[in-house]
Structure 1
């Protein structure tokens, strides 16, 4: 009597083994098809590789690739967390663009803050000392005072305008000198070459948050830095729809960074990497538009009676304008302006009402904490708890990001906001 196998197919009547099917079962076929394609087709943009598993032709190949991946060999990967063709393409692009003229490598992280934390984890250990400017990005300060302190890593915050005078703050255990130029909200410029020269002489790693002017208007490795930290979320993406960060380092510093990234399990997906690569293609023209529009709005604000001063490094009125001219090739669309105290209510509640009237219900300026996208943003700069070495002595701050809208429309929008602020005052 004929019997059936578990698939429902009738068994052969004879005693001989069943003939092997020329075509595998559907369940096998669907795992096999469409995994290769004609790679002679070349497209303008690279395809997106989405991958966790990486396959090998032999055990020997898998073992060799594993050793190469652990050693940080370029383009070696045993798993999607180590890299895919899409993420490797972005890593190479970042190293070439950010490190122009220098031998650099780049690693990817899922946000700008994770890039900051990974860089600090890579080069600081328990018992070490870190120097950080008082004008640093707020979450970086929180990380230093929280997680780094909990690991026994001490951070000293210094006057961002200290220059070569940072020598007096160096200790025998100072391992990292952190910079951010210009600084968050108050836009002090640092004498980066002078500070990096001290760090190198004292055996410390210098690293900079290069958010403001990268990738078009700053060349930090020309200034002497060892590590450049990038929030790719901002101008590299340019469209306010992707979160990512990166750390670019000189080649001799690569392995500690790569080891930290691998041990922390930090990685990004191919789709997000593709979005940053796509944004990179237009970053030069976008940033030049941000620069031109930002300066036009900044100069208009300088003439407003409600404004005490505009904190934009490319303005001749900025106290560090000479450093900006020496080091930078342009300016982005982010700056702050200080309001006149006598144009605002003296009480806290009245001040909050006035700031709300300025910032809320604008047509083009939206309230938001990020920047570097196509849109214009406005937010009060509340930095009272974010300064220790150089407390802010000025009036209320407002930070704006000038997007890609027509600057005449942005000026009209700010004029309406200032009028609403006066009415609320």
Structure 2
């Protein structure tokens, strides 16, 4: 790792002169077939490796630049590989590690498609999944069985935002020879360098904050030297890749990640603290607030907070929640998050989570880059609509 400070690395990583050809950004290389001058040159390109053109699926300067930049943001990482979405990255990482007869310990607050993968495809492959309480910490040791081969974390959790004791869980796993994976999309390595915390594979839906503009579908997995060969082999066997256009867009977004996340946090803190004082709101689930489960781990391990959190409404029902959300002017209604725009969607963790009970309708908010005063005024009107249904 360079001795340069993080903001400098964020601007400069992945911009090798041999990849940029004298311009600021790596050019957009769209390629499938790569032409060689001779059979000897073709044979010399085997096996495929970053920095050596072989076939479009195995990378071009555009994709290599993004991989190198993301690896450089994770102290202790050896390799990053690209996937067409965050869900594909989760699947690619798990399939690189697990075989028939293995058991996976999956955090109960995981992303819905991650649970679906475990309950369908992995189950059909003979891979068992057991779900664990996100707040288990070092107590994960009591859940590890003879067949356990991997532990999957997501911190904070989807919808319910528990912050896990990642170092404690990873320390137990390392002592038992078990691999650890984390969905680190909420924080990105900018706010939480997961590999340095002991994780073996860090997964990002770059669709979110890395891209940052709601215009790219992309996932990545960053791995340590111990697990990089298995990840790379599985990616090749599964034929997983990402287009150069998406990689180029992610590189563009990456350069402003630091200042965007700073603004997301500033806005989200203002809105979350305001919501925490409103009579219609029972709880605000935001890691930066003391009331959020695992807040102490957020203080210890994270460098900041992003713009995504949830609120638990007091009383009311789904119709009240819909009336509140439908009338919002500055919040879009749509899947995903991490772009410059604010979003509001209903959430129901009881449809998936099994280890924790939740009360009251949930609303998940992504706080974008708009003026927070406008967002607060919009939410105030929404809360009035919610209360009108009482």
TM-score w.r.t. length of structure 2: 0.93
Larger radius of gyration: 1
Per-residue CA shift, 1:296-342, capped at 9, x if unaligned?
0000001100011101111122232211100000000000111112x
Partner of 2:13: none
* C-alpha distance in structure 1 between counterparts of 2:20 and 2:308, whole Å: 44
Runs of 5+ consecutive residues of structure 2 not aligned to the other structure: 1-17
The equivalences for 1:221-370 within 5 A come to: 221-341=195-315, 344=316, 351-370=317-336
* C-alpha distance in structure 2 between counterparts of 1:226 and 1:53, whole Å: 33
Per-residue CA shift, 1:181-201, capped at 9, x if unaligned?
110111111110110011111
Which residue, 157, 163, 172 being the options, matches 1:183?
Answer: 157
* C-alpha distance in structure 2 between counterparts of 1:296 and 1:286, whole Å: 16
Q: 1:222 to 1:105 in 2, by over 3 A?
A: same
Contact 2:134 2:163 in 1 (8 A): yes
Deviation at 1:64, TM superposition (A): 2.4
Higher mean C-alpha deviation, range 113-122 or range 169-178:
169-178
Which residue, 51, 56, 60 being the options, matches 1:80?
Answer: 56
Per-residue CA shift, 1:14-48, capped at 9, x if unaligned?
xxxxxxxxxxxxxxxxxxxxxxxx99962121210
Deviation at 1:78, TM superposition (A): 1.9
3-state SS of paired residue (2:45) = helix
* C-alpha distance in structure 1 between counterparts of 2:228 and 2:144, whole Å: 24
* C-alpha distance in structure 2 between counterparts of 1:340 and 1:134, whole Å: 24
How many corresponding residue pairs? Answer: 373
Where has structure 1 moved over 6 Å in runs of 4 or more? none
Partner of 2:82: 108
Partner of 1:144: 118
Which residue, 27, 32, 48 being the options, matches 1:47?
Answer: 27
Check if 1:94 corresponds to 2:70: yes
Check if 1:381 corresponds to 2:347: yes
Q: 1:185 to 1:55 in 2, by over 3 A?
A: same
Higher mean C-alpha deviation, range 363-372 or range 74-83:
74-83
Runs of 5+ consecutive residues of structure 1 not aligned to the other structure: 1-37, 345-350
Contact 1:215 1:236 in 2 (8 A): no
Partner of 1:203: 177
TM-score w.r.t. length of structure 1: 0.86
Per-residue CA shift, 1:113-156, capped at 9, x if unaligned?
00000000000001100000110111100000000000000000
Contact 2:135 2:294 in 1 (8 A): no
Q: 1:277 to 1:163 in 2, by over 3 A?
A: same
Contact 1:109 1:245 in 2 (8 A): yes
Per-residue CA shift, 1:242-281, capped at 9, x if unaligned?
0000000002211111111111111111111100000011
Q: 1:248 to 1:41 in 2, by over 3 A?
A: closer
Contact 2:19 2:65 in 1 (8 A): no
Deviation at 1:59, TM superposition (A): 1.0
